[in-house]
Each structure stands twice: as C-alpha cells, then as structure tokens.
Amino acid sequence: MLTLGVNIDHIATIRQARRTIEPDPVAAAFLAELGGADGITVHLREDRRHIQDRDVEILRQTVRTHLNLEMAPTEEMIEIALRIKPDYVTLVPEKREEVTTEGGLDLLSNLDYFAQVVDRLQSSGIPVSWFIDAQEDQIKAAAQTNALFIELHTGKYAEAHDEKSRQQELSFLNQGTQQAKQLGLRVNAGHGLTYWNVYPIACIAGIEELNIGHTIISRAVLVGMERAVREMKLAMQKPQNQENSRK
C-alpha cells in the first residue's frame, strides 16, 4: 500500500525566518503522525537554512513511524547519519544558492565514491536511497551502488505546463519505476507534488512512498497539520479538481 512521508522542512523555514524557537518541527512531526503520516522526512542542509542538528537529534528520539534523513553525500553528513542512525537516508544533490533541490543527483559523475558512501551507511544498518531523475543510466548506476532504494524526482512532472508534457513525464516516471523494480531497487518518489497533481503519481505501480512537504505545510498554516496530512492521504486515493489548482 502506498505510504506518505511528510517533509517538515518548511516548519523550520518559518522558525528560522525570525531565529526563534517556534514553530517547532518536532511538534509538527508529532501532529503529522497523528494525522496519518507514515513517515517523517527532513533535509539537513550544509548551510542549516532550516532544519538544525538539534531537530534531527530530537526527531530520532520521538518519531514513531520512520525518520528519513535527506542529506548531501558529504563527509560531514555521513558522520552525522552514522551517529543519529535514521531509519534511512536519502542522498540528494545540494547547491547553496538553490531555493529547493533542482533535480536528481548525477550518480555517473562519481560512481565509485557514491558506492563507497552506500557501503559505509548500509554496513552500519542505515538503508540508502538515491534521489535521481527517471533516466535509464541513472537508475542502472543506482543499482550498481547496491543501494536499497531510489527516490524518483517528480519535479518535471509537477512543473509541466500542458497535458502532453505532463503525460510524457508521467510515462518517464512509470518506465523508470518498472526498470528500477526489475533491477531489485525499491522505489519512492517526490518533489513538487500537490493535492491536485499527486493522484496520477500515486497510481504508478511499484512506488512505495511519496515524500511531500511544501504543499502540506502551506495548507497546514490555514487548516492545521493533522487535517492537511489527512487531506493529502485522501488526494493520493482519488483525483482532485484540476480547476481548483489554478485558482
């Protein structure tokens, strides 16, 4: 059954805007789980622009579903993961000037190093997922690193401006999922998904979990975290009115 991982980074974004103590991502994670979240995702960035080390440490102790730590495959982050022991890590590309992650990691750029990173983490009992685009060579490379998971980047699908482009990106994601499954990889997906575009992705056979953040946090500001999470789980089960997304 398809599950939902709720990314709570933007709770920390609001907090860091004033360098204060609220809202607390730990409290947000608790409410998200009450609303039906199957997992909690946080991205500990090198510049600490939102999630802080303290957040990850407390979340590791308090999350009752599973904790997915997104991070760049750097020595600093590897050491933090080995110490914190999240339920799994998702390794992502990271540029300091970007607003949000702009695309999948290019595994072919340094495949030997990436395989070593996977070995270090998984030999310590931390499953690894690669955040990559739905490209045949990237999926093959992910399998070559012996990672257990991939997370397919759905940004191009989410940003498509017409139905033809949207269907093309959906086809790429479906093909990528099937290729990954044939190679023995488990598949998650995420980035840019909203209440109005999530359903077609949720229908792709073989995807296990969707990681969704911004749209849930945006709605939670207005209706509360528990309700926002419940409504996303409903949206994953039935199509929403596309007209509403343009209002």
Q: Which fold has domain 3-165+205-237?
A: TIM Barrel (3.20.20)
> Which residues contact residue 83 at a Cβ distance below 8 angstroms, ignoring those fewer than 6 apart?
none
Catalytic residue among 43, 50, 153, 169: 43
Question: What is the pLDDT of the chain when averaged over all its residues?
Answer: 94
Work out the angle at residue 103's Cα, subtended by the Cα atoms of residues 144 and 4, and round it to the nearest 5 degrees: 85
Name the residue with tokens 């575009």.
Answer: 197
Distance CA 67, CA 86 (A): 6
Catalytic residue among 33, 94, 191, 231: 191
> Is 70 a known active-site residue?
yes
Exposed e or buried b for every residue in 206-242, given b needs 16+ CB within 10 A?
Answer: bbbbbbbbbbbbebbeeeebbebbbbbbebbeeebee
pLDDT for residue 243 is more than 50: no
Q: Is the pTM of this model over 0.75?
A: yes
**Torsion sign, CA atoms 42, 60, 34, 37:** positive
The predicted-structure confidence for 56-91, as pLDDT tens digits, reads as follows 999 999 999 999 999 999 999 999 999 999 999 999
> Is 43 a known active-site residue?
yes
Distance CA 26, CA 83 (A): 19
Catalytic residue among 10, 33, 50, 70: 70
Residue ranges covered by each domain of the chain: 3-165+205-237
Distance CA 89, CA 81 (A): 8
> Is 10 a known active-site residue?
no
Q: State residue 247's pLDDT score.
A: 35
Q: State residue 245's pLDDT score.
A: 41
Q: Is 224 helix (H, G, I), strand (E, B) or coil?
A: coil
The predicted-structure confidence for 169-227, as pLDDT tens digits, reads as follows 999 999 999 999 999 999 999 999 999 999 999 999 999 999 999 999 999 999 999 99
Give CA torsion, residues 220, 86, 134, 49, to 10 deg. Answer: 60
Q: State residue 102's pLDDT score.
A: 62
Q: State residue 101's pLDDT score.
A: 57
